[in-house]
Amino acid sequence: MNLNVKLFADGAEKKGIIEMYNNPLISGFTTNPTLMKKAGIKDYKLFAKDILNVIQDKPISFEVFSDDFKEMERQALEIASWGENVYVKIPITNTKGESSKELIERLSKSSVKINVTAIMTIEQVKLILPKLMKSRASYISVFAGRIADTGVDPIPIMKKVLKLIRDYKNIELIWASPRELYNVVQADSIGCHIITATNDILKKLNLLGKNLTEFSLETVKMFYNDAREAGFTL
């Protein structure tokens, strides 16, 4: 199956990142503090610099972790200095719900490549778009998977965002937090620029277009063999 959507790997484990870096289907990378904590990362800068020694020719996003906008700005400028391929992830608000729009505008004017993250509403997109007008390159990460977790279909929202940014040649939409491989197909079908997914989802790419009858038989064999290996009796 031919895909037009760009595939970004989302993770914080070096082994997995390098594995995906060597996969020609992967066009970029993202990470976040939660994934880094889960991976046991203790030194943020050391981890980032280590990864950037390997990944120098594909975009990679690292996130600020302060709740204070002044400190966020300092962190963002330092992170941006680590490499030409680095995008800085700025959350749409801080933990108090205060908009990051002014910070985003300042960073845009400073030529920082920005990845605005944790977006879930059209109103949030409309608020920050004018602030990204002067950015040389930006991503808008809409968390389609989390939107779907609430029982809301993310497709209409993603389509509206694509329409809103149509005239912004410097901005690309990221379908963030996918829950299954089918989300890749969905993102591709609506013309989304990028989808970022964890390795466990990306490793299923070889299943795209697989014959379902064959897949059914493989599943039956799996159940049968696992039952035998477990030594079940009745």
Q: Which of 6, 89, 113, 131 is catalytic?
A: 89
Using the CB atoms, write b or e for 74-94: b if 16+ within 10 Å. Answer: ebbeebbebbebbbbbbbbbb
Which of 130, 125, 84 is closest to 109 using CA atoms?
130
Check residue 118 and give left, alpha or beta (phi > 0: left; psi -120 to 50: alpha).
left
Contact 92, 118 (CB under 8 A): yes
Burial degree of 170 (CB within 10 A; 0-12, 13-18, 19+): middle
Encoded amino acid at 119, one letter: I
Distance, in Å, from the CA atom of 159 to the CA atom of 78, rounded to the nearest integer, reads 34
Establish whether 89 is a catalytic residue: yes
Coil/strand/helix, residue 30 = strand
- Tokens 């002044």 belong to 70
Its sign, for the CA torsion 49, 179, 172, 206, is: positive
Q: How many CB atoms lie within 10 A of CB 157?
A: 18
> Which residues participate in catalysis according to the annotation?
89
